[in-house]
Amino acid sequence: MTGSYRQPGVVLTDRRFTVPLDHDDPAGETIELYAREVVARDRAGQDLPWLVYLQGGPGFGANRFVGRQAWLGRALEEYRVLLLDQRGTGHSTPANRQTLPLRGGPAEQAAHLAHFRADAIVRDCEAVRPEVTGGAPWTVLGQSFGGFCTVTYLSTHPEGLSAALLTGGLPSLDAHADDVYRAAYPRIERKVAAHYARYPQDVERARRIADHLLTHDVVLPNGYRLTAEAFQSLGILLGGADGSHRLHFLLEQAFVRTARGPALSDAFQEEVQGLLSYAGHPLYALVHEAIYGQGSRPTAWAAERVRAEFPQFDAAKALAGDGPLLFTGESVHPWTFDCDPALRPLRETAELLAARTDWPALYDPARLAANEVPVAAAVYHDDMYVDTAHSLATARAVRGLRTCVTDEFEHDGVRAGGPRVLDRLLALARDDV
């Protein structure tokens, strides 16, 4: 533990923990986890229960809040909060193009990354919990992939939990990655249609940009090769509260007149490379489909294969007709590793992960059916990232789980409406409503 410091209304303490890379080999290699403890300044000396936050992703460190932003202010009314950088993310021991070659070649890198899924993250939590809480169970708040981890937690170590709160993060217990994306593409298409209904001028703008990318070789300042397919992946914005507006403002500044004719503006290119680059979160691309892997069936680039079942997403075909260009959403493709300089050295590693056929199970349906931990989940109606039907099926499979199904928020509801969302979840978990 290092020294504490202050922000408006809060006291923060940086904490570091050493855990096994492979929890089945506790005497083997270790890695470091980083977490930030946060407590309200006027309660810093009090003995408070703990809430651990599991961020969405995979591959993102915990939020870097300033003061009592988003849901944190509500949590600090009664908890000490641990903002955990899950293994490989944030300030924990990194896993990226710079560090992974230390493992060896692609085969060794892929074997290493197999330890970066929800099952290992939950065992990390259980390894550090005694040091943090003195052995007492804690409340977990899981956003998106953090919710997936929370369902794994309920499946494997429910004794560590006093309550479980999930937002946009109830996974299917048995869906293959193919099933996930087969449900996702129609949902994404609805989000794109809603965007174009709000901003009809963007139909022509998007077509013009895609046409430019199909006829020009565009490399962004950071070395990212911007193809039409990569441009379409900006549709990931449409899953957030302000994402449609952000996409609109991006498209309206796309072109500038130059001596050689129209060109993509520097401002557009700068913003696009920030949105598309995986340099800050490479695990998102590397293990994204692996988070659905269970059993002997490989994920095998599910998003790419299933996309072929939806030809309306083909940019060239869309431009050959008069229909709108469809954006895509939360998906990773083989070409992602060709476009992004932060991922190119890891393409073979990603191929090996996609071909893996021995993924251990992440969920225990029998144990979930006998669950005794208070559980509440916010399910966002027509969530672009997590299928609502899959979430509700899982909600029915977890004994005692209570849901708040709402279309007031998008997938990032705990950020956009954090105090209200967290307050509702706490009330449901405590049977106060």
Q: Which residues are catalytic?
A: 144, 358, 411
Tell me, what amino acid is at 6? Answer: R
Residue 143: its H or E element: strand 138-143
DSSP structure string for 195-255: HHHH-THHHHHHHHHHHHHHHS-EE-TTS-EE-HHHHHGGGGGGGSTTHHHHHHHHHTT-E
Q: DSSP secondary-structure letter at 94?
A: B
Segments in 321-407 forming alpha helices (H):
336-339, 347-355, 365-369, 388-397
CA dihedral over 244, 287, 100, 337, signed as positive or negative: negative
Tokens found for residue 294: 């269970």
From CA 53, how far away is CA 72, in angstroms rounded?
Answer: 10
From CA 246, how far away is CA 191, in angstroms rounded?
Answer: 14
Tokens found for residue 58: 């995979």
> Which whole-number Å values give the CA distances from 374 to 128, 139, 176, 392, in the listed order?
22, 10, 28, 17
State residue 84 phi and psi, 5-degree precision.
-90, 125
> Which whole-number Å values give the CA distances from 34 to 31, 82, 125, 229, in the listed order?
10, 10, 12, 36
Tokens found for residue 390: 């899959």
Tell me, what amino acid is at 24? Answer: D
State residue 406 phi and psi, 5-degree precision.
-145, 150
From CA 121, how far away is CA 370, in angstroms rounded?
Answer: 23
Residue 30: its H or E element: strand 30-40
From CA 208, how far away is CA 130, in angstroms rounded?
Answer: 57
Tokens found for residue 11: 């006291």
State residue 135 phi and psi, 5-degree precision.
105, -10
* Other CB atoms within 10 A of residue 216 CB: 10
